[in-house]
Structure 1
Amino acid sequence: MDKRLTLSSYVLIGSMLFGMFFGAGNLIFPVHMGQEAGSNAMIATIGFLITGIGLPFLGIVAIGVSKSDGLFGLASRIHPLYAYAMTILLYLTIGPFFALPRTGSVSYEIGLAPYIGKEYQMLGLAGFTILFFLIALIFSLKPSKILTWIGKILNPLFLIFLAFLVIISFLSPMGNVSSAEIHGAYAMEPFFKGFTEGYNTMDALASLAFGIIVVQTIKDLGVQSPRNIAMGTVKAGIVSVLLMGLIYSCLAYIGATSVAQYELSKNGGIALAQIAHYYFGAAGSILLAIIVTLACLKTAIGLITACSETFQKLFPNSLSYRAYVILFTIVSCLIANIGLTQIISLSIPVLMFLYPLAITLIILAFLSPLFKHRQIVYVLTTVCTLFASVGDAFNAMPDVIKNESFIQNLLAVYHSFLPFFDIGMGWVIPMVVGLSFGWFIGLFQKNSARSI
């Protein structure tokens, strides 16, 4: 008999989902955005929330309503080879190459680095990340306990400690947002800059990975019918995004007020450390260390679990789940030691490439019943989006690569012929064109639908 979940169950699953989402980037990027956006922080935050919570919510729901077995199942509607490429690249990005190492480096930079001399920073980072990822590894070895570890224990603790910092920041703001200086692109295009800044959280990508964990958790609680599973993912997703939206808005506001007391920081980790010290002195550093470590640890557990389960399923004759957990943890620990700022700068081109493709896949999953799941629609929409996302990736490359003559000539073509390319939204028109042409062609290919 199909079981119906109680409200408390949905809240618990939503807490688990929020816990997996809300990690390193979710803390540091909205604060830094608030600092840069200044008096335009509200407009920038709206754009940030669309990619920061809107797309992740749609990604979770897309997995639930599409009745697929996760990202690989969705991407297979385009082509099996594309499904392998997209799944591997996305999981490596949110896993051992970028997001996972960032959880360790952010925890160190905010929680421990201020107390260690410059000559011992490398040694301190190495020691901290080894301990951090060892703890994450221990929790990740038992994926069936993830609902308990994250939903019941780590996430509630994180929210309690974060509440101290947020409440006092609102009761005694450091400055006035309306008079805060505006920096860079936030002066002219605050909404679109905030929109693309939301890419850095990697949550829309993570939603395609975490969606299947939510679905499996709901099944484990006794829900079997596809309709009730889909409704369960929606309700759990609502709990998660409401919490995320509230905290993002608060952090952006705190960042905007902080420039009245401090100069614009290099990254949000430095800004958060300054803010906590301003309000609580030495105790603020301890409070922030607890907040950040809890946030990053629960996300690290979720990412290690999701990546390991996915690779074990993709390549069942390769390594065991346990072996993948160990492998991804070791790789993440090593990459974490290159430092937070370097990890962020290296990840941006990859995110600019992947995000349009992930957004397109989410949109197609929702529209799929309307065009009868025809493969031609999936293919043309993805190919057109891929063309634009390649340009976005090159445009976000470090200057040493971007300034090469071949890259400059290529970007000149994109700038000339692709609307909105200058603001990182060049993929929108190609996606719409591909979707329209695919849909039109599909009308004359009534027997071309894939079995989905």
Structure 2
Amino acid sequence: MRKKDVLISGFMLFSLFFGAGNLIFPPYLGMESGTHFIAAISGFILTAVFLPFLTIISVSLSKNGLLSIGDRVHPVFGIVFAIVIYMSIGALYGIPRASNVAYELGFLQIVSVEGRLPLLLFSIAFFGLTYLLTINPKKVIDLVGQFLTPILLLVLAVLCVQAFITFDYTDAEASEKFQSAPFLKGFLEGYFTMDAVAALAFGIVIINGLKDKGASGKKELIRGTISAGMIAAIGLVMVYLSLGWIGRVIPHEAPISNGAEILVLASQQLFGYSGNLLFGLIVMIACLTTCIGLINACGRFFHEIYPRYSYKAYVLIFILIGMAVTNLGLNMILKVATPLLVLIYPVAIVLVALSLFQHFFGESRRMYVYGVSIAAVFSLYEMLASLNLKMEGIQDALSVLPLSTNGLAWTTPTLLAAIIGYGLDLFQKKII
């Protein structure tokens, strides 16, 4: 395995993570955090970069990726959870969201059109290009890592360098939510990117890509995947710091409500009308690379578990589903997908954490069963709450738990349950 292949794989992984959502979160955090920028962006990087990186490591250490991670709870749970992960971050959310954001924040910055027909025509063109770039799984890493990612990084560099040269630092008061515990607020902003879930799928993309490049043997694959993860992580940290800093120092008079508005304003202030073209290009490339990676991951996974249909057939299926869901509109996509993501995210984090723990301290079946079960109960309640089905008695009981006001009430009970499970298996000498 050549160093060049690892570098290209790292660029590929960077592009997979760096979708439009990751583009617009840091600038808004930078603007809102004010003088607490360093603490806030540090918390953001911890959960938006370090946690996905740990997930990549976890996937590389597992024999069969996400499937084997879930199997430690139960084989049926393993396959069901894997399917839910791939469908939620893929066809039902991640893929159509990438396409829709590419249209709303990218294409519409360049071309002024209205109505539903332009979205349909754009989605046909967007997914047509995605299909052509995804149809050969062995060339996906080269196409994205060797060509699209350098273009994306170059365009981002033009924006960020010009911002560093032009904008001056001035003191700015933090918004109310960042005035106390800015590190924790940044931590939660990174948590809600949900990239740790996406990393469960992206890790397999990199592993399969390295296999296609000739990597063989478990140690070589683990080393290559972790190295690619480090390259991606370094790139993400640099870009998040730069984008966050733009939000921190950009001069503005009118109120700004999101990160997209910050980057549009920055592009216009720095480059005039051509700034719209620059920002639109950044968004569309970021969304395209993410979409390519998601379709590749989903196609390979479903071909592996149900090989009756070819990889190309699954690519076409996910392209068609993604195109159909895209045309429902971004608001509808978010409305439908949010409850599902709330349900799976804590469970995914627990599985990743326990799989890393077992690599050093041994596998405990009860640790997985107890920990995941408690996380699933809390996730189910949070999903119902996201559908406005809160139960006041339960809500009052949960409010006494640490971090409950931040949506992290599940962490302490889950940790205790996992410790109890591990302790019981250790006592009965069932640690593998």
Give the TM-score range, shorter chain.
over 0.9
1:128 is matched by which residue type in structure 2?
Answer: F
2:313 to 309, 320, 323: 323
Contact persistence 2:5–2:210 (CA under 8 A): no
**C-alpha distance in structure 2 between counterparts of 1:117 and 1:369, whole Å:** 53
Provide the residue aligned with 2:356 in structure 1. 366
**C-alpha distance in structure 1 between counterparts of 2:36 and 2:125, whole Å:** 40
Provide the residue aligned with 1:308 in structure 2. 299
Provide the residue aligned with 1:355 in structure 2. 345
Provide the residue aligned with 1:179 in structure 2. 172
Provide the residue aligned with 1:30 in structure 2. 26
2:357 is matched by which residue type in structure 1?
Answer: L
**C-alpha distance in structure 2 between counterparts of 1:343 and 1:271, whole Å:** 24
Instruction: Specify whether residues 253 and 347 from structure 1 end up closer, same or farther in structure 2 by C-alpha distance, changes over 3 A only.
Output: farther
Structure 1 runs (4+) greater than 6 angstroms displaced: none
Instruction: Specify whether residues 226 and 422 from structure 1 end up closer, same or farther in structure 2 by C-alpha distance, changes over 3 A only.
Output: same
- How many residues were matched structurally? 432
Once the two structures are overlaid, the 10-residue window that deviates more, 338-347 or 275-284, is 338-347
Provide the residue aligned with 2:193 in structure 1. 201
Provide the residue aligned with 1:214 in structure 2. 206
Provide the residue aligned with 2:163 in structure 1. 169
Contact persistence 2:45–2:187 (CA under 8 A): yes
Provide the residue aligned with 1:378 in structure 2. 368
Percentage of identical aligned residues: 33
2:56 is matched by which residue type in structure 1?
Answer: I
Contact persistence 1:22–1:299 (CA under 8 A): yes
- Deviation for aligned residue 1:212: 1.6
Residue 241 of structure 1 aligns to a residue in which SS?
helix
Instruction: Specify whether residues 389 and 190 from structure 1 end up closer, same or farther in structure 2 by C-alpha distance, changes over 3 A only.
Output: farther
Deviations 1:309-356 (A, max 9, x none): 112222334x43222212211222222234445544554443333222
- RMSD between aligned residues: 2.2
1:132 to 101, 104, 126: 126
**C-alpha distance in structure 2 between counterparts of 1:340 and 1:31, whole Å:** 21
Give the TM-score normalised by the residue count of structure 2. 0.93
Deviations 1:213-272 (A, max 9, x none): 22222223333221222111111111110000110111112123336344222x333332
Residue 446 of structure 1 aligns to a residue in which SS?
coil
**C-alpha distance in structure 1 between counterparts of 2:160 and 2:25, whole Å:** 16
1:314 is matched by which residue type in structure 2?
Answer: I
**C-alpha distance in structure 2 between counterparts of 1:408 and 1:322, whole Å:** 49
Instruction: Specify whether residues 164 and 57 from structure 1 end up closer, same or farther in structure 2 by C-alpha distance, changes over 3 A only.
Output: same
- Deviation for aligned residue 1:45: 1.3
Find out whether 1:16 has 2:8 as its counterpart.
no
Task: List aligned pairs for 1:364-443, cutoff 5 A.
Answer: 364-395=354-385, 397=386, 401-402=387-388, 404=389, 407-416=391-400, 418-443=401-426
Find out whether 1:56 has 2:47 as its counterpart.
no
**C-alpha distance in structure 2 between counterparts of 1:390 and 1:40, whole Å:** 34
Provide the residue aligned with 1:286 in structure 2. 277
1:190 is matched by which residue type in structure 2?
Answer: P
Give the TM-score normalised by the residue count of structure 1. 0.89
Task: List aligned pairs for 1:56-75, cutoff 5 A.
Answer: 56-66=52-62, 68-75=63-70
**C-alpha distance in structure 2 between counterparts of 1:333 and 1:229, whole Å:** 34
**C-alpha distance in structure 2 between counterparts of 1:342 and 1:41, whole Å:** 33
Contact persistence 2:264–2:279 (CA under 8 A): yes
- Deviation for aligned residue 1:36: 3.1
- Deviation for aligned residue 1:117: 5.6
**C-alpha distance in structure 2 between counterparts of 1:47 and 1:160, whole Å:** 27
1:85 is matched by which residue type in structure 2?
Answer: V
- Deviation for aligned residue 1:132: 0.8
Residue 363 of structure 2 aligns to a residue in which SS?
coil
5+ residue gaps, structure 1 = none
Residue 275 of structure 1 aligns to a residue in which SS?
helix
Instruction: Specify whether residues 342 and 279 from structure 1 end up closer, same or farther in structure 2 by C-alpha distance, changes over 3 A only.
Output: farther
Instruction: Specify whether residues 436 and 139 from structure 1 end up closer, same or farther in structure 2 by C-alpha distance, changes over 3 A only.
Output: same
2:227 to 221, 226, 235: 235
**C-alpha distance in structure 1 between counterparts of 2:235 and 2:313, whole Å:** 34
Find out whether 1:160 has 2:143 as its counterpart.
no
Find out whether 1:77 has 2:72 as its counterpart.
yes
Contact persistence 2:42–2:183 (CA under 8 A): yes
**C-alpha distance in structure 2 between counterparts of 1:121 and 1:281, whole Å:** 27
- Deviation for aligned residue 1:428: 1.6
2:340 is matched by which residue type in structure 1?
Answer: V
1:39 is matched by which residue type in structure 2?
Answer: T
Contact persistence 2:43–2:186 (CA under 8 A): yes
Task: List aligned pairs for 1:217-296, cutoff 5 A.
Answer: 217-258=209-250, 260-265=252-257, 267-296=258-287
Instruction: Specify whether residues 320 and 411 from structure 1 end up closer, same or farther in structure 2 by C-alpha distance, changes over 3 A only.
Output: farther
- Deviation for aligned residue 1:302: 0.5
- Deviation for aligned residue 1:384: 1.8
